Amino acid sequence: MAYFGGLVVLLTIIGIVKKYDARLVLLVAGTLMAFAGGQLGGMVTAFNKTMVHGTLVPTICTVMGFSFVMKYTECDKHLIHSLSGVITKSHAIIIPLAILLTWWINIAIPSAAGCAAAVGSILIPTLIGAGVHPAMAGSAVLAGTWGSAISPGTSHNPFIAKLANVDVMTVIMSEAQQAIIASLVVIAALTIIAIIRKEGAEESRREALLKEEEATIGKIKVNPLYALVPLVPLILLVLGSKSVGILPTMGVSEAMLIGCALGIIVTRSNPQDVTKEFFNGMGSAYGNVMGLIVAAAVFTFGMQSVGLTQSLIEVMKGSESIAKVAGAFGPFAIAILSGSGDAAALAFNGAITPHAANFGMTIIDLGSLAQIAGAVGRSASPVAGAAIVCAGLAKVSPVELTKRNIIPMLLGTITLIFLF
């Protein structure tokens, strides 16, 4: 049955690469595998559960609503124009800066999809406005969405700490150096790819975009308050995070709503029109972004129902003689296929990591390697929530982001193997 699942996954990849509607491809593939595994009822449950997901739906829909409001009030253009002058002088480092900024913010906002939505709604338009190719802009933000691997807010670090009988900060301090070095390798690799593909900040693309905007809205005289509004939700989320704690903790949805309200006040826009744009954005997000996430959930369930996910995990667990390689590439590969490295990393850490001493490693090192590799792999998956969010904001296919991120993430994982 797992072989049938593997064939379906291969056909799914081909279908997505051929640019058939990803939602259709994932739904059909997931349904076929669920039918083969006799789990059609479970597939429907997965569909329904994801469709009303308690955190993803409000987060993604309010972020896109906020994005529509910023576009309507032209606050996003004021931000882009205010930064474009500085950014155009930093062509060589604009992509590294974007990845690094996202990576560190992801430590404070541990949700990859939530961070992609909050940061991407600002950085992706800014990068595009600076002349970066839209797909590369989305890839840069996605490439930074695994910083949460060294966050106390992720579930993995407390799990490893429990296995090793230490506190969670001991685990984080032990893995931080390796993760930071791997992130620098990812940054360097994606920057080189941008140079080779000529998708970095190019003056010709920036000028073309500015001319297009000036033709429709005229030349913008930057208003600092307008330019500040798009940053407000991100500032609120960072200052209210557990690791900073200056402000009360709040969710992404609350931060976005505050940003919208502030946008109305600062720009003195018609509240009725702004409200319409906000809900238009929410509808667009649900149909496009959430639609893909729901389809991806059906696909992931299909993989599980035919035993493909479990087979991959068992192969990984059975490679005890090469535990380090299995601990890295097992979660990495499964994360790319399923959009989540959590299941594989937790399974590996539960079954193999307690025996780390038999492989000449510590529990902290082997456990950290598995969970970080899973997070890195997720940043190269076309079905991951963060990838779908970034692709939606950049208005490109998630596969385009995977094409650009797969090599940097692979190099990052290989780096981790040598460092742990």
Lowest mean pLDDT among 189-198, 268-277, 306-315, 369-378: 306-315
Mean pLDDT of 390-402: 92
- Can you give the pLDDT at residue 407? 97
Least confident span in 8-12, 292-296, 388-392: 292-296
**Residues across the chain:** 420
Q: What is the dihedral of CA 349, 350, 352, 356, to 10 degrees?
A: 70
Structure token pair of residue 234: 């991100």
Q: What's the mean pLDDT in 100-115? A: 83
Q: HEC string of 94-130? A: HHHHHHHHHHHHHHHCCCHHHHHHHHHHHHHHHHHHC
Confidence band for 215, pLDDT divided at 50, 70 and 90: very low
Give the pLDDT confidence score for residue 257 in this predicted structure: 92
Distance CA 348, CA 362 (A): 14
Average pLDDT over residues 124-139: 88
**Is residue 284 a contact partner of residue 312, using CB atoms and an 8 Å limit?**
no
Whether the pLDDT of residue 357 is over 90: the answer is: no
DSSP H or E run through 75: helix 75-87
DSSP letters of 15-68?
A: HHHTT--HHHHHHHHHHHHHHHTT-HHHHHHHHHHHHT-TTHHHHHHHHHHHHH
Task: Note the pLDDT of residue 398.
Answer: 92
Local confidence band at 349 (pLDDT 50, 70, 90 cut-offs): confident
Query: Does the structure show a pLDDT above 50 at 207?
Result: yes
pLDDT score recorded for residue 80:
65
Q: What is the pTM of this model?
A: 0.70
Query: What single-letter amino acid sits at 99?
Result: I
Distance CA(198)–CA(402), nearest Å, equals 17
Q: What pLDDT, on a 0 to 100 scale, did the predictor assign at position 218?
A: 46
Q: In this model, does residue 217 exceed pLDDT 50? A: no
- The answer to whether 130 and 201 are in contact (CB under 8 A) is yes
Lowest model confidence (mean pLDDT) among 16-25, 36-45, 192-201? 16-25
- CA dist 143 and 187 (Å) reads 8
Q: How many CA atoms lie within 13 A of 377 on its CB side?
A: 26
Q: How far apart are the first and last CA of the chain?
A: 36
Higher-scoring residue by pLDDT: 94, 221: 94
The answer on pLDDT for 242 being more than 90 is no
Q: What is the pLDDT of residue 401?
A: 95
Q: Radius of gyration over alpha carbons of the chain, in Å?
A: 21
Q: Is 145 or 22 the better-scoring residue by pLDDT?
A: 145
**Cα separation, 182 vs 369, whole angstroms:** 11
Per-residue CA distances from 300 to 52, 104, 159, 254, 410 (Å): 17, 29, 23, 30, 22
pLDDT score recorded for residue 205: 61
pLDDT in tens, 260-313: 999 999 999 899 999 999 999 899 888 877 887 788 888 888 888 998 877 766
Q: Return mean pLDDT, the chain.
A: 83
pLDDT over 70 for what percent of the chain? 87
Average pLDDT over residues 235-256: 79
398: Cα within 13 Å, side-chain hemisphere: 29
User: Which residue, among 393, 352, 394, has the nearest Cα to 369 in the 3D structure?
Assistant: 352
Q: What is the largest CA-CA distance in the chain?
A: 68
Listed by start position, the domains of the chain span: 2-419
% of the chain exceeding 90 in pLDDT: 32
Q: In this predicted structure, what is the pLDDT of residue 182?
A: 96
Helix (H) or strand (E) holding 214: helix 203-217
At 133-186, the pLDDT tens digits run 999 999 999 999 999 898 876 778 888 888 898 888 888 889 999 999 999 999
Residue 412 has pLDDT above 90, yes or no: yes
Alpha helices in 144-167 (DSSP H): 156-164
Is 103 within 8 Å of 372 (Cβ atoms)? Answer: no
Q: How far apart are CA 124 and CA 139, in angstroms?
A: 9
